[in-house]
Amino acid sequence: MNHLIDILELSEQEIDRLIETAEDIIARPEQYSEACRGKKLATLFFEPSTRTRLSFEAAMYELGGNVLGFSEAQSSSASKGESVADTVRVVGCYADIIAMRHPKEGAPVVACQSSTVPVINAGDGGHNHPTQTLTDLLTIHREKGRLNNLTIGLCGDLKFGRTVHSLLLAMSRYENINFVLISPEELKIPDYLKEDFLMKNHVPFTETTSLDEAMPKLDILYMTRVQRERFFNEQDYIRLRDSYILTADKLKTAKDDMCILHPLPRVNEISKDVDSDSRACYFKQALNGKFIRMALILKLLGLEREGGKAL
């Protein structure tokens, strides 16, 4: 594998290997502190980001490498009209690997076709966010001990939520996975995912507008924010932004070992009183993002060996 653009480019075996490597990094960080010495990561973020960009940077620094790049399109030559293809071709002269976020769906595909170094899709519009999905999978594996035999509730913005789309595609390949899709009518999962993927592949799912009704069934509750930046109409955003707010009171009917995930940032869809609940895993999830990105960087740079350990 030369690039990571879509989570489906990874086989289940490759995902398991990345998780194994991440687990070893967590257990033995000192063994990886010089693994990328002399290597440089370029973070090309044409769209705002905090967690994803900083976790990539922290990942590379903790592997002993260096980081260069930009955090907004205005501070790059894109503001002068330079194409994505030209940008990555030039940056490949200075860096060994690129993590790129772009508001246009498909931009990372264009990038990898021109790049001379590995490209990681760090999010493209409402389409895909494979490293967030790897973060989610590592968190689920660490919290539940498995990636199969789970009922997963996806709640909130299922129409524009790229993290939801990628997680749905990834988890659908594991045995005995059942999805509960919880959203207002206006933010339902896109038809191409529902009809061309879930239904075509006979993946069990139900759709509902009620979080309260779904709660007792769930092993995983994946909350998402209603994303203001994806709306063309401010009134629609205001009307839908408070559709689902998770509170401590609403968790009374949930399983004792349910795992609450959120890709962050949150606005108000998870009340602060949930943070102290043992089922709240979203800050652990943010930390896990650093470890799985470390594993991915090692893989794409060819610096892991058999068994998932660093060279």
Active site residues: 51-52, 80, 101, 129
Candidates 107, 123, 176, 108; CA nearest to 147 is 176
Candidates 164, 159, 173, 161; CA nearest to 202 is 173
Q: How far apart are CA 94 and CA 84, in angstroms?
A: 16
Q: How many CB atoms lie within 10 A of CB 79?
A: 10
Whether 98 and 118 have beta carbons less than 8 Å apart is answered as: yes
The token duo for 18 is 């990345």
Candidates 51, 76, 52, 56; CA nearest to 66 is 56
| DSSP tag of 96 | S
Bridge-based pairing of strands 220-223 and 150-155 is parallel
Bridge-based pairing of strands 259-261 and 220-223 is parallel
Q: How many CB atoms lie within 10 A of CB 105?
A: 13
